[in-house]
Amino acid sequence: MPNHDVKDRALAPQGKDRILWADRSMPVLTRIRERFETEKPLNGQTLAACLHVTTETANLCRTLKAGGARVLLCASNPLSTQDDVAASLVEDYGVEVYAIKGEGHDTYYEHINAVIDAGPTLTMDDGCDLVSTLHTKRTDKVDGVVGGSEETTTGVIRLRSMEQEKVLRYPIVAVNDAFTKHLFDNRYGTGQSTLDGILRCTNVLLAGSTFVVAGYGQCGRGVAMRARGAGANVIVTEVDPLRGLEAAMDGFRVMPMEEAAAIGTVFLTVTGNLHVLRREHFEKMKDGALVANAGHFNVELDIPALDEIAQSRRTVRPFVEEFRLADGRRIHLLGEGRLINLAAAEGHPASVMDMSFANQALCAEHLVAKAASLEKRVYGVPGEIDEEISRLKLAALGMEIDRLTQEQESYLRSWQQGT
Ligand code: ADE
């Protein structure tokens, strides 16, 4: 039995069924796993992963193990772990898992430390908590790491700061920046799973609601698009003029949060920044407002400020906390302000994680093959990996695309032909 700290190993049979269900929608990762089984490109590696412990992550772990790695997994968010999946990974797949849904801050970091104790040669992070712990409190283990990868926008931003300050101690591949990751996972994955999380925990009717999306990056676009599809009146708030303009031309109302606060019925932050919804906004909200976050950290909402202006707070449904203000208005905080798609639902669907995690698996292989020649920098995903994944995914979807004719190829190379 691998070392572990999970909620209940008896949950394993249910977890295994769910993992295999997700696997059916992950054909690209399956192909990589089959190749890894024969080629063993990760032989001898100890891979510490700090990821959301979901069915999709389980299939990634199976792939990494098939490649020959020893795999340790801890959670990248205290509320995103699926306890049945954690149990099955330990019982059925020999992965050393340290993750319990609802774990407190101290346990969260104990679990990160537990995977570091193994002395990883590779890291796989989602939000940079593992890498930052290795670079601050656990420098005893940092020299053994040959490379790492990062899954999400927030983590890549933190890593680029480390690179700029010249404190990064090993090369990192920014998986988030692959086209086959952020154009699909961030947009369609977040778009669907965020609404899924809000709906599962509130059962609110989106048709006719006024849905405020803070942030119009790929994630914000996805949420705004899907909320509109469900009949909501969507307002976008932004700080970037180009993104604000894009949102306007995509047909959304754009205004400062100051104004949106007074008219929204559902609020969703997805900016990657701090205190996007704060006291002055909460004070303006209508009775019954729903407030949620789909950005990596719950700091997008100033929850202490909401607590300060509330006279009482109580849980009214799972993942729904009601804050009652002095004048009787009620504001509802969903999923403790943590990633609502993972806290109250199951995260992005497997079909989209197929591409994200295909990138992760291929980047782990790339890091091992190229470790000696890489510098202590943040690298993009090699273009060949991105292209290979889009080709495989398209084929798995049963779709073919056209090829350039020879005439078209030479036309594209020529500059003489005009009107
Ligand atoms: N991030 C968002 N959705 C996810 C999922 N289903 N598995 C792992 N990480 C995720």
For residue 407, tell me if it sits in a domain: no
For residue 2, tell me if it sits in a domain: no
Question: Is residue 37 within 8 Å of 112, Cβ to Cβ?
Answer: no
Indicate whether residue 111 lines ligand 1 (CB < 6 A). Answer: no
- pLDDT at position 269 over 90: yes
What DSSP state is assigned to residue 188? Answer: I
Say how many Å lie between the CA of residue 407 and the centre of ligand 1: 44
- pLDDT at position 107 over 90: yes
Mean pLDDT of 14-37: 98
Mean pLDDT of 336-340: 97
221 and 273 belong to one structural domain: yes
243 and 359 belong to one structural domain: no
Domain boundary among 343, 363, 388: 343
Q: Which residue's CA is minimally distant from atom 8 of ligand 1?
A: 52
Q: Which atom of ligand 1 is nearest to the CA of 339?
A: 2
Q: What is the CATH number of the domain that holds 122?
A: 3.40.50.1480
Strand, helix or coil for residue 37: helix
For residue 414, tell me if it sits in a domain: no
Indicate whether residue 56 lines ligand 1 (CB < 6 A). Answer: yes
Q: What is the CATH number of the domain that holds 236?
A: 3.40.50.720
Q: Which residue's CA is minimally distant from atom 9 of ligand 1?
A: 52
269 and 214 belong to one structural domain: yes
- pLDDT at position 73 over 90: yes
Strand, helix or coil for residue 316: strand
Q: What is the pLDDT of residue 418?
A: 87
337 and 256 belong to one structural domain: yes
Single out the residue of 211, 232, 69, 79 nearest to residue 149, CA to CA: 69
Q: What pLDDT digit, counting tens, does each position of 386-405 carry?
A: 999 999 999 999 999 999 99
Indicate whether residue 347 lines ligand 1 (CB < 6 A). Answer: yes
pTM confidence score: 0.96
Indicate whether residue 59 lines ligand 1 (CB < 6 A). Answer: no
Quick one: how far is CA 59 from the chain centroid? Answer: 16
Say how many Å lie between the CA of residue 314 and the centre of ligand 1: 29
41 and 174 belong to one structural domain: yes
Q: What is the pLDDT of residue 238?
A: 98
Indicate whether residue 348 lines ligand 1 (CB < 6 A). Answer: yes
Indicate whether residue 18 lines ligand 1 (CB < 6 A). Answer: no
For residue 418, tell me if it sits in a domain: no
For residue 319, tell me if it sits in a domain: yes
Say how many Å lie between the CA of residue 189 and the centre of ligand 1: 8
Q: What pLDDT digit, counting tens, does each position of 183-197 carry?
A: 999 999 999 999 999
Say how many Å lie between the CA of residue 81 and the centre of ligand 1: 10
Q: Which residue from 55, 56, 74, 85 has its CB within 8 A of the most atoms of ligand 1, so it is best to mutate?
A: 56
195 and 327 belong to one structural domain: yes
118 and 230 belong to one structural domain: no
For residue 81, tell me if it sits in a domain: yes
202 and 170 belong to one structural domain: no
267 and 220 belong to one structural domain: yes
For residue 147, tell me if it sits in a domain: yes
239 and 357 belong to one structural domain: no
Question: Is residue 89 within 8 Å of 56, Cβ to Cβ?
Answer: no
Indicate whether residue 52 lines ligand 1 (CB < 6 A). Answer: yes
- pLDDT at position 43 over 90: yes
- The Cα 194–Cα 230 span in angstroms is 13
Non-local CB neighbours of 21 within 8 Å, separated by 6+ positions? 55, 350
Tell me how many domains the chain contains: 2
Q: What is the pLDDT of residue 397?
A: 96
For residue 1, tell me if it sits in a domain: no
Mean pLDDT of 109-121: 98
Full residue range of the structural domain in which residue 332 is found: 189-343
Q: What pLDDT digit, counting tens, does each position of 274-328 carry?
A: 999 999 999 999 999 999 999 999 999 999 999 999 999 999 999 999 999 999 9
140 and 265 belong to one structural domain: no
209 and 331 belong to one structural domain: yes
Q: Which atom of ligand 1 is nearest to the CA of 193?
A: 3
Say how many Å lie between the CA of residue 74 and the centre of ligand 1: 14
Q: Label residues 133-166 b or e (16+ Cβ within 10 Å = b).
A: bbbeeeeebbeebbbbbbbbbbbbbbbbebbeee
Say how many Å lie between the CA of residue 137 and the centre of ligand 1: 27
Mean pLDDT of 327-345: 97
